[in-house]
Amino acid sequence: MGYLFKKNLWTLFYILFGLGLSLLVLISYMQYKNVENDLRMELNYLTNATKETTKHYFTQQEIILNILDRQLFDGKGIRNTENIHSLFQSILKINKAIAGFSVCGPEGNVLIISNEKKLSEIPNLRHYNSNFNMMFKKALETDRLVIGTVFFDKALNRWILPLHKSIRDKKGNVVAVTSVGLRLDNAQSIWKAQIEPGTELEIFLDDSWYRIYYSSHPPFRNPELYTKPLSIHDLEHFEAGSSLLKEAGMTFDSLRKSGECAVVHFKSPDAGTWLVSWQYLPEYRLWIHYHLTTDRILNKVTNYWIINVVSFIFIFIVVYYLFYIINSFEKRKSKELLYQAMHDNLTKLPNRMYLQKNISSWIYEGAPPFSVAFIDLDNFKNINDSIGHHYGDLMLVEVARRLKTSMPKGTMIVRHGGDEFIMLCREHETKKLSQTAQTLIKAISEPYEIESMEFTIGVSIGISRYPLDGTKLFELLSAADIAMYHAKRSKNSFAFFTSELKALRNRYSLIEQELRSAIEKEELTIVYQPQIRKDGTLHGVEALARWKNKKLGHIPPDEFIKIAEESGFMPRLGHYIIDRAIKEIGFLQKKSGSVFCLSLNISIRQFSEKGFVERFLKTIDSCSLDPSSIVIEITESLFMEELELIVETLHKLKRNKINISLDDFGTGYSSLSMLRKLPIDELKIDKSFMETFMVDKESEAMVKAIITLGKTLGFSILAEGVEEEKQFQRLNELGCDLYQGYFFSRPIGLSDLEKFVIEYRR
């Protein structure tokens, strides 16, 4: 889940990044378009303005020419020219744009001229140059002002733009042509004001395609651009340009007619893309033509783009940082969860899961040796029960703290559960390990002061070593556990997992394994040991289990019953023994015709099994045995378990006439009050007393006390382990009721028992 979220988080980031990037491109494109549009409008405006300025400029010149004409001609011919020079000078003074005048006859012969030269020195103007002649001829054909081509006037030492205008008599015949030489530098300064940065302006004469102005190429630098019409190459360019106009739905012709301004892209194969404008000035038959490199657009838009990219980067750094924070927050959260899952809440120590997950750093191929210690507090349950869990918890926290502080660096301490701790320690030499264990025991046995109460506790430690005692965690743990149980016997001590313990463990697992198939293999049998009355008659028999295994030989019941209990096999084994003994004795009683008691040993696990009593009664009933002839032998260890439940079960059995005998009596610590509480019929004095009571006064006193106590409470007293006659006689004197032991009979098989029963009946 966490992984998925993490993955999705970054996917989301990349999606956002992609979207952001697309948006950036889109915005940048739109900005480009906007800038281009702005520039188009600007160019449109500029072209229009230039057209107006140009028109205004030439109109002004035309007005001056008209005035001049009226001054020079009276309708019949040239007026008196006496004052003509002073007139010229005053006009030249007022109008700085004019470099000079001339008036010619229709044939080009100069009639009047503004400079001081003698007329005879001035050649016919029509021979001045071919362009001049061409424009002069045009002027003869029209009433309007004719703009000529640019030329260098040597006399004036200037670049001149000539203007021509014909003067007619009343009949309409041309009598003269007035020419004005405009100072090109003056006109240029007007047009120059119309140049915006990055733009170029050209003004052409229509039809002839002569330039009269080119902003970036003044005539003194590039005279050929003015003295010749457009080259074929340039015209081709304009043709390409006009085809672009066509794409925009316009032609040069339509522009001539409408006077509109066209702004279009102009793609030149060698000079890149331009934004160009064309506008026609019909009054003076001029083309106003601007061009603008797209660099200008790029320059302008680049600023926007830089802002875009910078903001994009900034935003995404912020977003990235945000995602990074969320991600690390998630990481931290899952780390915390993992920490919680792998640590004990109370002591904050790592738990079993942590141990499982991290064992690979201890166990691997070629790993150095280390040791595992199983630490179990002695009688911690008592503390919990007597003073409460609150103190128990505080004590565990303190134990954990002491474990941590008294251990060498690099030790892994794990709370295994309850009052059990596990330690993985790099130490592995016996001597040093023993010292470490002793330090630990000392540390833990120091008194605990918890909320002004003082406690002490013992600890048992079992130690196993890697790779000596196992190469897998569970092997090492079980080895340390076994060693710990061994240590428990002497309390507040430690024990190593030794070869003997190892052998015991191997035997244990072998027994456990073999026991599971013992019933099917019919390896289990039952022997019966007679119980005799004072008068020597047969009272009953105790059923004792026997197991002979192919691999293990005879296994004593003490051993396999314990293992059966621990491995959970006891209920099944117990039922088998009970069923078989009841069946065999039922059969024998019927066969022999004599009735006697059957004592059955019932272990702890069996007793607390659900439905035990019901099943037990049913078995007795099915063999038609009298329930009052059945005795159940229990030991005091039973009362360590849930007492309430056990007392209830005992009463249930008692109500069904089953007798109850307290086995191995005198070895445990049953209280008098408990004996009174339980529905007991019989006390079995433990066989260990038989060895001592004849010689040891204390032991004899104990046996006497047991008999007196039992009698007082109304129990019958059975002595087990009676091996000698004198033991029997002394017990008899002391008031014992029943006897069991080798003196009368060893535990015997069913057929021997049959003989025994027949013999004792007599």
> CB count, 10 Å around CB of 690?
21
Q: Does 42 bind Ca ion (CB under 5 A)?
A: no
Q: Given the complex with ligand C2E, which of 529 and 659 has the nearer CB atom?
A: 529
Rg of the chain over all Cα atoms, to the nearest angstrom: 64
Rounded least distance, CB 663 to ligand C2E, Å: 5
Rounded least distance, CB 352 to ligand C2E, Å: 33
State both tokens at 443.
């540390």
Rounded least distance, CB 633 to Ca ion, Å: 4
CA distance 527 to 745: 11
Q: Given the complex with ligand C2E, which of 17 and 576 has the nearer CB atom?
A: 576
Q: Given the complex with ligand C2E, which of 446 and 724 has the nearer CB atom?
A: 724
Site string for Ca ion, 613-652 (x = CB under 5 A): --------------------x-------------------
Q: Which residues are 288's β-sheet partners?
A: 203, 279
Q: Given the complex with Ca ion, which of 398 and 663 has the nearer CB atom?
A: 663
Q: Given the complex with ligand C2E, which of 62 and 579 has the nearer CB atom?
A: 579
DSSP 375-421: EEEETHHHHHHHH-HHHHHHHHHHHHHHHHHTSPTT-EEEEEETTEE
Q: Given the complex with Ca ion, which of 131 and 601 has the nearer CB atom?
A: 601
Choose the contact partner of 524 out of Ca ion, ligand C2E, none; CB within 5 to 8 A by kind.
Answer: none
C-beta of residue 14 within 8 angstroms of C-beta of residue 245: no
Rounded least distance, CB 633 to ligand C2E, Å: 6
318 backbone φψ class: left, alpha, beta (φ>0; ψ -120 to 50): alpha
Choose the contact partner of 329 out of Ca ion, ligand C2E, none; CB within 5 to 8 A by kind.
Answer: none
Which helix (DSSP H) or strand (DSSP E) does residue 705 occupy?
A: helix 697-712
Rounded least distance, CB 545 to ligand C2E, Å: 4
Q: Given the complex with ligand C2E, which of 148 and 530 has the nearer CB atom?
A: 530
Q: Given the complex with ligand C2E, which of 357 and 687 has the nearer CB atom?
A: 687
Q: Does 234 bind Ca ion (CB under 5 A)?
A: no
Choose the contact partner of 747 out of ligand C2E, Ca ion, none; CB within 5 to 8 A by kind.
Answer: ligand C2E
From 413, 395, 393, 394, select the one nearest 404 (Cα to Cα): 413
Give, as ranges, the residues between 569 and 608 that touch Ca ion (CB under 5 A).
601
Choose the contact partner of 470 out of ligand C2E, Ca ion, none; CB within 5 to 8 A by kind.
Answer: none
Choose the contact partner of 603 out of Ca ion, ligand C2E, none; CB within 5 to 8 A by kind.
Answer: ligand C2E
Choose the contact partner of 741 out of Ca ion, ligand C2E, none; CB within 5 to 8 A by kind.
Answer: ligand C2E
DSSP letter assigned to residue 596: -
Q: Given the complex with Ca ion, which of 469 and 633 has the nearer CB atom?
A: 633
H/E/C letters for each residue in 72-105? Answer: HECCCCECCCCCHHHHHHHHHHHCCCEEEEEEEC
| Residue whose tokens read 């302008």 | 300
Rounded least distance, CB 358 to ligand C2E, Å: 43
Rounded least distance, CB 599 to ligand C2E, Å: 8
Choose the contact partner of 619 out of Ca ion, ligand C2E, none; CB within 5 to 8 A by kind.
Answer: none
Among 196, 664, 681, 723, binds Ca ion (CB under 5 A): 664
The footprint of Ca ion on this chain (CB under 5 A) covers a number of residues equal to: 4
Choose the contact partner of 723 out of ligand C2E, Ca ion, none; CB within 5 to 8 A by kind.
Answer: ligand C2E
Rounded least distance, CB 580 to ligand C2E, Å: 10
Sites of contact with ligand C2E (CB under 6 A): 529, 543-545, 556-558, 561, 577, 601-603, 663-664, 687, 720-723, 741-742, 747
Helical H runs in 193-292?
A: 224-227, 232-247, 252-258
Choose the contact partner of 745 out of Ca ion, ligand C2E, none; CB within 5 to 8 A by kind.
Answer: none
Q: Given the complex with ligand C2E, which of 177 and 634 has the nearer CB atom?
A: 634
CA distance 351 to 223: 98
Rounded least distance, CB 741 to ligand C2E, Å: 3
Q: Given the complex with ligand C2E, which of 118 and 554 has the nearer CB atom?
A: 554
Residue 467: asked if its preceding bond is cis (omega within 30°), the reply is: yes
Q: Given the complex with ligand C2E, which of 39 and 706 has the nearer CB atom?
A: 706
Rounded least distance, CB 664 to Ca ion, Å: 4
Rounded least distance, CB 544 to Ca ion, Å: 8
CA distance 528 to 531: 9
CA atoms within 13 A on the CB side of 685: 36
Q: Which residues are 633's β-sheet partners?
A: 601, 661
| Residue whose tokens read 């956002």 | 16
State both tokens at 179.
């020419």
CA distance 274 to 272: 7
DSSP letter assigned to residue 343: B
Rounded least distance, CB 410 to Ca ion, Å: 51
Q: Residue 295 carries which side chain, given as an amino acid letter?
A: D
Choose the contact partner of 478 out of Ca ion, ligand C2E, none; CB within 5 to 8 A by kind.
Answer: none
E strands present in 550-657: 553-555, 597-601, 630-634
Q: Given the complex with Ca ion, which of 32 and 689 has the nearer CB atom?
A: 689
Rounded least distance, CB 556 to ligand C2E, Å: 5
Q: Given the complex with ligand C2E, which of 464 and 603 has the nearer CB atom?
A: 603
Choose the contact partner of 556 out of Ca ion, ligand C2E, none; CB within 5 to 8 A by kind.
Answer: ligand C2E
CA atoms within 13 A on the CB side of 276: 23
Residues 6+ apart with CB under 8 A from 742: 722, 723
Choose the contact partner of 469 out of Ca ion, ligand C2E, none; CB within 5 to 8 A by kind.
Answer: none
Among 663, 710, 719, 740, binds Ca ion (CB under 5 A): 663
State both tokens at 614.
């019901």
Choose the contact partner of 737 out of ligand C2E, Ca ion, none; CB within 5 to 8 A by kind.
Answer: none
Choose the contact partner of 544 out of Ca ion, ligand C2E, none; CB within 5 to 8 A by kind.
Answer: ligand C2E
Rounded least distance, CB 573 to ligand C2E, Å: 8
Strands 716-720 and 738-740 come out as parallel
DSSP 119-150: GGGSPPGGGT-HHHHHHHHHHHH-SS-EE---
H/E/C letters for each residue in 711-757? Answer: HHCCCEEEEECCCCHHHHHHHHHHCCCEEECCCCCCCECHHHHHHHH
Footprint on this chain of Ca ion (rule: CB under 5 A): 601, 633, 663-664
